[in-house]
Chains A and B, each alone.
Chain A
Amino acid sequence: AQSVAQPEDQVNVAEGNPLTVKCTYSVSGNPYLFWYVQYPNRGLQFLLKYITGDNLVKGSYGFEAEFNKSQTSFHLKKPSALVSDSALYFCAVRGTFMDTGRRALTFGSGTRLQVQP
């Protein structure tokens, strides 16, 4: 079974400061890892993914994430937070099976990011 843990319910950061949202995962085989963002009453928007290759992946809106296989982590980062980044962030994992193209994502519990002006 695959699972994702987001240990922080909420992260508070001042605008302009760097932010980190933590995620650890458990999956059989090599993982496909994703970050999605959700604004109130909206759908999930894709931010970035790790499939293979460089451990540091860059995504939308200046976000990046670092894949660490030994620590089974995929923390989301941004060098300088904006008030508009305030939202709910979900980490997700998808195991690599032969039918990965049709395998569902398993989401973490979500972390609410609050960026103060």
Chain B
Amino acid sequence: AAGVIQSPRHLIKEKRETATLKCYPIPRHDTVYWYQQGPGQDPQFLISFYEKMQSDKGSIPDRFSAQQFSDYHSELNMSSLELGDSALYFCASSPSGTSGGLNTGELFFGEGSRLTVL
């Protein structure tokens, strides 16, 4: 079965640079979530999108922005990178139940994009 696809899997940047992470949800999943997991920490919710509109907002820094496109894929844009942004960034998707996919409650996670800021 198709899973959530994230790219790139690994990314190395320097301080003050920018980075873009991409997420392709499972087909017929219309809701996308972004999480940040620092070393030894639990996943922290950043932001989510439903039908291309921001659905929920967590602890996303002002330096970060995200959007969802018409094909439901999402991109997380990070600017003015700091050392503390080094983390594993997860994307998850779920069907809301209104776009053809059955809403079973759980989120389906990708393998993550590991960002290292030097």
The interface of chain A, by Cβ under 8 A from chain B, is 32, 34, 36, 41-46, 49, 51, 90, 94, 99, 101-110
Are A42 and B94 neighbours in the complex by a CB distance under 8 Å? no
Q: Which B residues touch A90, using CB under 8 A?
A: 42-43
Q: Mark B85-118, 1 if CB is under 8 A from A, else 0.
A: 0001010101111100001111111111010000
- With A102-B56, A104-B56: A41-B106 Cβ-Cβ less than 8 Å: no
Contacts of B48 in A (CB 8 A): 102, 104
Question: A43 to B112, Cβ gap below 8 A?
Answer: yes
Q: Report how many A-B pairs have Cβ atoms within 8 Å.
A: 65
Q: How many residues of B contact A (CB 8 A)?
A: 32
In the complex, chain B residues whose CB is within 8 Å of the CB of A99: 55
Chain B residues engaging chain A, CB cutoff 8 angstroms: 4, 31, 33, 41-45, 48, 50, 55-56, 58, 88, 90, 92, 94-98, 103-112, 114
B114 pairs with A41, CB closer than 8 A: yes
> In whole Å, how far is B6's beta carbon from the nearest beta carbon of chain A?
8
| CB of B36 to closest CB in A, whole Å | 11
Q: Are B108 and A107 in contact (CB under 8 A)?
A: no
Q: Cβ of B44: which chain A residues have Cβ within 8 Å of it?
A: 107
Q: Which residues of A are found within 8 Å of B112, using beta-carbon distances? A: 41-43
Q: Is the CB of A107 within 8 A of B43?
A: yes
A104: chain B residues within 8 A (beta carbon): 33, 45, 48, 56, 58, 107
**Distance between Cα atoms of A51 and B97 in the complex (Å):** 15
Q: Which residue of A lies closest to B46 (CB)?
A: A104
B31 cross-chain contacts in A, Cβ below 8 A: 101-102
- Contacting pair A44 B96 (CB below 8 A): no
Instruction: Give the nearest-CB partner of A42 in chain B.
Output: B111
A106 to B56, alpha carbons, bound, how many Å? 12
Measured in the bound complex, the distance between the Cα atoms of B109 and A94 in whole Å is: 16
Check A105–B90 contact: CB distance below 8 A: no
A42 neighbours in B (Cβ, 8 Å): 111-112
C-alpha gap A99/B56 in the complex (Å): 10
